[in-house]
Amino acid sequence: MNRSASRSAAILLLSAILLQSSPGKAPAPDIHWPTFRGPNASGIAEGFNTPTQWNVPGGENVKWKTPIPGLGHSSPVIWGNLLFITTAISGQTNAKLRVGLYGDIASVQDDTSHKWMVYCLDKQTGKILWEHVAYTGVPRIKRHPKSTHASSTPATDGERVVAMFGSEGLYCYDMKGRLLWKKDLGVLDSGFYMVPAAQWDFGSSPIIFEDKVFLQCDVQKDSFVAAFSIKDGSEIWRTPRQDVPTWSSPTVYRSGDRTLLLINGYKHIGGYDAATGKEIWRLQGGGDIPVPTPIVAHDLVFITNAHGRMSPIYAIRLDAMGDISLAENSTSNKYVVWSVPRDGAYMITPLVYGDYLYSSKNNGVLNCFEAKTGNRIYQERLGDGTTGFTASPVAAAGKLYYSSEDGDIYVIKAGPKFEVMAKNGMGEICMATPAVSEGALFFRTQGHVVAIAERPSSK
């Protein structure tokens, strides 16, 4: 290759790198992880190898470990070399978190003043670049003993980062930490609809798409889904929803000439026009405490939820229109390609990786289905049946990563044969879904953000 050609190739390579990392561009899934579960909530990052084995207490394949005070189940989000995380710091010396498989619904009694915080870390080193107190005060809504006051994952578009703190408001910062705007949405009372005194606090995460921030606010009274301007927080549209409290985050997906806002629910699962908020389709019939986020793969929308009479999985065509609810004793119709009534997930967002849909229950029972047909490939158990699972899985380099609440990360080989490749200890409670970027895994544990990456060979 001559000098001119070499120079042209170098310019093209540099341009590609700059395009991939510059603010405001479409997320590059191998580098940016801009929202809960990454681009389109897929949970997938390709292009780099990711580690199979590590041990945090022993330091094996630990790139860095940064303490984060308080409690938060929000996941890390990443743009380029910036990582963002939120937390809520109680006035109590030891704000307790109770994990495991149990059925208690009573709220935590903590009326001390809290601080709701946003942190920005250097992705390569874990150094805290800036931190800001978004709000200080006594929580307006109590939390579940397994939850936190900072459970909503922030979102970023490379120019701004948006943090949702439920009844304490919505906040937008620039990438250097300057507050651009904030919005008080009033009291958002999330809790068990059958026992209103059981307040569990807010869990739905904001989603940024083009010039809008989308929020799903299913609460005890006056539920709604809305779009706000990313520039100044002004409300663009708001659509009422007749549903009970939910903790699911919406998913935005462009399909042909329309952009869909996909919503999980109990009474009202639905697809909305992202530009106007107009309902496009709806489906009734689900578990009555919806948490998992809708995902899209193979031209299908996959939605699951659980609790109560039903725990379904639905595979819905992207061109669905109108009321697509299933007739009694039916598992499919014109728009619902397949469904199963009793193998859905309570807490965990499913994962479609390749040809297979992976859906885990909160007791660790993992189901693998053919994504296009619903044929079950296997059903196996992670853990010993006594450990809870809350974090949603992510996938990279042919591997699935499932986090137990106790802090054990199960690495599962992707494909039709169940194989546990490794079990790795984090040394702390792990409730948050990890992020993946440039071959590294970023876990949020009870007290830290931890970067896991394979160390270069010394050979």
Question: Is 459 within a domain?
Answer: no
| Structural domain count, the chain | 1
> In terms of residue numbers, what domain contains 35?
27-452
The CA distance from 230 to 210, in Å, is: 8
The CA distance from 20 to 10, in Å, is: 15
Burial of 352 (0-12, 13-18, 19+ CB in 10 A): buried
pLDDT score recorded for residue 94: 87
Tell me if the pTM is above 0.75. Answer: yes
pLDDT score recorded for residue 5: 40
The CA distance from 422 to 443, in Å, is: 16
Question: Is 21 within a domain?
Answer: no
Burial of 105 (0-12, 13-18, 19+ CB in 10 A): middle
pLDDT score recorded for residue 255: 86
Question: Is 4 within a domain?
Answer: no
pLDDT score recorded for residue 27: 55
The CA distance from 441 to 229, in Å, is: 32
Cβ contact 149:169 at 8 Å: no
Strands 279-283 and 322-323: parallel
The CA distance from 51 to 54, in Å, is: 7
Would you state the structure tokens that stand for residue 32, as one six-digit string? 């940016």
Question: Is 231 within a domain?
Answer: yes
Which residue, among 292, 420, 302, 411, has the nearest Cα to 362 in the 3D structure?
292
The CA distance from 199 to 92, in Å, is: 19
Question: Is 69 within a domain?
Answer: yes
Cβ contact 429:56 at 8 Å: no
10-residue mean pLDDT profile of the chain (459 residues): values are 40 34 50 95 95 95 98 98 98 92 94 98 98 98 97 98 98 98 97 95 97 98 97 98 97 93 97 98 95 98 95 97 96 98 96 98 97 98 95 98 97 98 97 97 98 77
Q: Is 458 left (phi over 0), alpha (psi -120 to 50) or beta?
A: alpha
Q: Where are the alpha helices (DSSP H) in 243-296?
A: none
pLDDT score recorded for residue 28: 58
Would you state the structure tokens that stand for residue 425, as one six-digit string? 């200890």
Question: Is 9 within a domain?
Answer: no
The CA distance from 364 to 390, in Å, is: 9
The CA distance from 30 to 20, in Å, is: 10
The CA distance from 243 to 226, in Å, is: 15
pLDDT score recorded for residue 13: 34
Cβ contact 413:395 at 8 Å: no
The CA distance from 48 to 457, in Å, is: 16
Give the H/E segment covering residue 7: helix 3-21
**What's the angle, vertex CA 160, arms to CA 156 and CA 165, rounded to 5?**
70
Burial of 331 (0-12, 13-18, 19+ CB in 10 A): middle
The CA distance from 190 to 289, in Å, is: 11
The CA distance from 85 to 121, in Å, is: 8
Question: Is 77 within a domain?
Answer: yes
DSSP state of 138: -
Question: Is 396 within a domain?
Answer: yes
- What CATH number is given to the structural domain containing 133? 2.130.10.10
